[in-house]
Amino acid sequence: MYNFLLLWKMAWRNLWRQRRRSLITVFAMSAGLALCIPTYGLMEGVSREMIRGITRSHLGHVQVHHPDYLEERRLELSFPEKEASLAVLADPAVIQAAPRVYTGGMVSSEHEFEVHVGTIGTHGGGLQSLVSGSLPLKKCTALVDERTAKRWRLDLGSILRFSPLPAEPACERVEISGVVRSDPAGASSLLMRPADIADLNAPPKAKSAAQTDPDDIDSLEKLAPAAPSADATPMLAPASDAAPDAAPAVDAAPAAPPPAAPSPSPATPADNPTTVVFRVVRTASSQVGIIAVDPSRESQVTTMVDKVVAGTYLNNTYRNGQGVPQILIGDQLARILMVKPGDRLGLDILTREGFPMDEMVEVAGMFNSGLDSMDRSLTFVHLRMAWDPELMNLVDPKTGAPQIHELAIRIKDSLDNVVVAERLQKRLKGLHLVAWPWQKVEPAMASMVKLQDASTAILLLIIFAIAALGTMNTMLMSVFERIREFGVLKSVGMRPFFVARLIMLETLLMTLVSMVVGGVLGLGISSYLYVYGLDMSSLLPEGFSYQGVVIDPVWRTVISVRSFAIPLALMSLVSLIVAVWPAVRAARIKPVEALRQTGV
């Protein structure tokens, strides 16, 4: 015991024999530790934010499925909602479980507006007016002016249908073949060949008695449409700010009767143009994924309700006062369909048997998830739509019990999700279901979090390596300067082991001083970053986004025992490792060579 205390006393005195060098080394080690503590806390905060974004955006901490659902994703791989929910909610670690049903379908919107249909000559004719595309060379093709194309998101190949169809519809619909510059006077918004306009305004042909069927509704006498007024003016809507890109192929459907106009001559000269007012309907559609959710339970598991940028989240009631179900769509999809909250959409939803069923739905709101592909192709509807016998009818054929595809579970501590998943697996064994932690459901996301943790470890090692090299350099210089001293100690009987232990104790004392100083500085920096954060908005103005996971550009550190214990342990370990070589050099010094080297 006396020798041990003597070694500690000698080590402490030797440490301050070269005070300036020791202070510089302590400062370097303290600075490294003061940087490592907030850096580790900052990276841990980013990792927790990533996990929170992954689990709260859509996944949940744990998910329950049919054993084959994740691999096959078939509609019939469902399970009873009531039994599974009761088993899951019985676990004390579970906050809420949100049932979901997945399917696909098509959404479409219709917009009716008026156009002035004129011959090519009314626009000056010729290729010099073309902005894109080609002149209408085929039957039932037309040019459209830039204002109308931008307002209604018309592109080359877009289809417009007349509303209603002409009496003898030679052209039931027209295809846009090109876009021309808008006429400053706003003369025409749709330009066709003179022959096509003549067909549009041709009077109906009378049927012979042999051709007339008294039971055919189409053979009944029809009212003649009213002639247009002489002062009819174009009805062009103002240009929209929506970008013309990503516009789908568009179609049209009947709406209101068009005013008739005098039949134009087959070849109308440019100085005597013929312009006819028609009503057309533009239809936009898009294929989407459909997720049926329980709005009240879903809002307790995920943060989708916070991502609504217009309108509201889904109501808890299945249908509104007018008996129309609601739908929540992405803001990018809303731009494509040109709809806003309160507008109606046509929805073709796939049933359990794989057949599409039609339903009119109302847009409750629009969300922005941070991922454009999700905002263009994902929609949310009420869970009861999946159980509606006239729509998906996802119920047990024998008992009629409602079925679901997934239970997304939120637990109290996100770091315990693997343990909770194993516990839930035992509860669900009798129902032949599986409980997966989110790391198994989305391995790419889990790999991203692991990569973040690996990057943090590498960064800490680099900082500690720089500080450790300074420590090793200090101890080596101390050994070289004290060669004569070590020779004398060994000549009077000190064994090499005690010499090496003396060097290790000196390094340990220097490390302890650095840990105290660096720990206090690190705590101060971490406290500041915990309150104010590190603003990365200059580098990431909209935050970091990966597969829909958005991280706030203001990074905040995490103050925890782990964020202090790991940097302190690494500092001690690295310092003792780099002290091994100086200690070995000191232990291997021979007394005779040491005295001869110093000239004694």
Q: Tokens for 196?
A: 């096509």
SS (H, E, C) 169-232: CCCCEEEEEEEECCCCCCCCCEEECHHHHHHHCCCCCCCCCCCCCCCCHHHCCCCCCCCCCCCC
Nearest Cα to Cα of residue 304 among 368, 362, 374: 368
* Residue 88 sits in the same domain as residue 185: no
Q: Is residue 175 part of a domain?
A: yes
Domain ends where: 422, 441, 460? 441
* Residue 291 sits in the same domain as residue 277: no
pTM confidence score: 0.69
SS (H, E, C) 412-449: CCHHHHHHHHHHHHHHCHHHCCEEEEHHHHCHHHHHHH
* Residue 404 sits in the same domain as residue 495: no
Q: Is residue 214 part of a domain?
A: no
* Residue 523 sits in the same domain as residue 396: no
* Residue 93 sits in the same domain as residue 146: no
Q: Tokens for 415?
A: 């770091």
Q: What's the confidence (pLDDT) of residue 255? A: 38
Q: Write out the chain's pLDDT in tens, 600 residues.
A: 656 677 777 778 877 777 888 888 888 888 888 888 888 888 888 888 888 888 888 889 999 999 999 888 888 899 999 999 999 999 999 999 999 999 999 999 988 888 888 777 655 444 557 888 787 778 888 888 888 888 888 888 888 888 776 666 677 788 888 888 887 766 568 888 877 777 666 554 444 444 444 444 344 444 334 333 333 333 333 333 333 343 343 443 333 344 433 333 333 333 334 567 888 888 888 999 999 999 999 999 998 898 999 999 999 988 877 789 999 999 999 998 989 999 999 999 988 777 888 899 999 999 988 778 889 999 999 999 999 988 888 998 888 899 999 999 999 988 889 999 999 999 998 899 999 999 988 888 888 888 878 888 888 888 778 777 877 888 888 888 888 878 887 887 778 888 888 888 888 888 888 889 999 999 999 899 888 888 777 776 655 665 556 667 778 888 888 888 888 888 888 888 888 888 888 888 887 777 776 544
What is the DSSP annotation of 338-355? T--TT-EEEEEEE-TTS-
Domain span at residue 437? 60-106+287-441
* Residue 25 sits in the same domain as residue 80: no
Q: Is residue 526 part of a domain?
A: yes
Q: CA 40, CA 529: separation in Å to the nearest integer?
A: 12
Q: Which residues lie closer than 8 Å to 589 by C-beta, 6 or more apart?
A: 483, 486, 487, 490, 499
Cβ atoms within 10 Å of 383's Cβ, excluding its own:
24
* Residue 84 sits in the same domain as residue 65: yes
* Residue 316 sits in the same domain as residue 346: yes
Domain ends where: 386, 408, 441? 441
* Residue 389 sits in the same domain as residue 505: no
Domain ends where: 285, 304, 323? 285
Q: Which residue type is seen at 333?
A: L
Q: Which residue, chain included where needed, has tokens 């041990």?
A: 4
Q: What's the confidence (pLDDT) of residue 404? A: 95
* Residue 178 sits in the same domain as residue 259: yes
* Residue 397 sits in the same domain as residue 412: yes
* Residue 416 sits in the same domain as residue 291: yes
